Amino acid sequence: MRSYTIGQAARLLAVSPDTVRRWADAGRIPTDRDESGKRLIAGPDLAAFSVAVAADGDDHDEPYTTARNAFPGIITAVKLGDVAAQVEIQAGPHRLVSLLTREAVEELGLAVGMEAVARVKATNVHIDRA
């Protein structure tokens, strides 16, 4: 299972590391410590928290923007069918959903809590493993 540092979580949530530290100190997001004492957030916990923050309508001071329509975020849901799959990414305040083949999801090893980048072109959302 992937874990994220405070800085990585801040980038994925489009907030400052200090904001993530305050949330952790307040018990809003669970953290553990590694051998060196650095705080880590489990991928599934960060995925669930990112969805909750977006649902709460927490606005950020600056709008979330990326170059070339790339939205770095965290995978919050993967639904597999026999042939097709649906992957949801929370990129800051944005929820993006991509429909792709099951084979592509399996080849990329996409799973909840994993960092990924959604690339948007026209009406399609393409997922790049980060």
Q: How far apart are CA 42 and CA 4, in angstroms?
A: 6
- What is the pLDDT of the chain when averaged over all its residues? 87
pLDDT of 7 reads 94
pLDDT of 54 reads 82
Orientation angle between helical segments 6-13 and 43-56, nearest 10 degrees:
40
Q: How far apart are CA 117 and CA 69, in angstroms?
A: 10
pLDDT of 63 reads 42
pLDDT of 120 reads 81
Structure pTM? 0.59
Please check the confidence at residue 8 and state whether its pLDDT lies above 80: yes
pLDDT of 57 reads 66
Average pLDDT over residues 56-80: 70
